[in-house]
Amino acid sequence: MAESSNADIMVSGLKVSDILLPHPSLPNSMCLGPRSSESPAHLISCEANRIPFVNQHLDLTSWADCLRAWPNPPEGWVSWYNRVSKTHYATWESIGIADALSLSLSPLEKNENILKTIGYFWSDALNCFIFGHGPMTPTLLDVAMITGLDIVQNGPWWFIQLWAQLYFRDQIPDFPPLTSCTFPDVNGNDIRCTSYGQALYGLPGSRLIPKEAAGWFKIFFQGLDNPLFFPYTETEDFENPVSFRLGS
């Protein structure tokens, strides 16, 4: 949200009030409305001083506590899943959590170089990341396509990692074709991935390496010449989530 005192600032011939909408319950605040066809550069500059990396010295170690609650299957989880799914899988499907639960069969390696730099580009006023090429944020489409869930609240860091890896895949060396990735079944055998989430879960992680983290910071800061705004081009090869078929 943005304070209404900025409403008269001009952005490429438009008032900010032409782009921002009054908040339904907070009279002194506004919400980001539909994106204008104009360049967002001037609007972004109004918010730039609030982005964390502008206001503080970079300290990549300060993010350590934020990444402690990382999802990894506890001991015996796969056996529990195998046993319980035989009885309740149909119920999981009916309430829309089957795809997300299946992701827990595989450990997700943490990519600290992405996570400890991307956070510096988050704007808590616009509720999006502000990269060099413009604002970006995970959407409900991303949630549905990656996890199979219908909605997310306060998306966790592990989801931000999967989202960033998907949209910035061209910046990751040796990024594999997602259709070639494998995922463990309940018996631990590698099988073909049936969703974007399964394919992304298998990507290698990385401990914090200052040089690599600096490389990611530069990518986020400078932006991409040709940003990838729609990464779901392999939907015909992934049958899940069944509730969202772009080809149908």
Residue 244 included in any domain: no
46 and 63 both lie in a single domain: no
Residue 82 included in any domain: yes
Give residue 57's pLDDT band: very low, low, confident or very high (50, 70, 90). low
Q: Measured between alpha carbons, how far is 102 from 106 in angstroms, rounded to an integer?
A: 8
* Closest to 201 measured CA to CA, from 140, 146, 131, 148: 146
Look at the chain and report how many structural domains it folds into: 2
Residue 43 included in any domain: yes
Q: Measured between alpha carbons, how far is 244 from 248 in angstroms, rounded to an integer?
A: 9
Residue range of the domain that includes 7:
1-50
What is the pTM assigned to this prediction? Answer: 0.54
Phi and psi, residue 80, nearest 5°? -60, -45
83 and 199 both lie in a single domain: yes
69 and 44 both lie in a single domain: no
30 and 126 both lie in a single domain: no
39 and 81 both lie in a single domain: no
Residue 186 included in any domain: yes
Cα dihedral across residues 193, 142, 150, 101: positive or negative: positive
Residue partners of 144: CB distance under 8 A and separation at least 6: 150, 241, 243, 244
Least confident of 3-17, 37-51, 69-83, 186-200: 3-17
The residue among 202 and 41 whose pLDDT is bigger is 202
Give residue 8's pLDDT band: very low, low, confident or very high (50, 70, 90). very low
231 and 130 both lie in a single domain: yes
Q: Specify the residue for token string 């991409």.
A: 224
106 and 184 both lie in a single domain: yes
Residue 22 has pLDDT above 80, yes or no: no
- pLDDT tens by residue, 149-192: 755 445 567 888 889 999 999 999 899 999 999 988 878 888 88
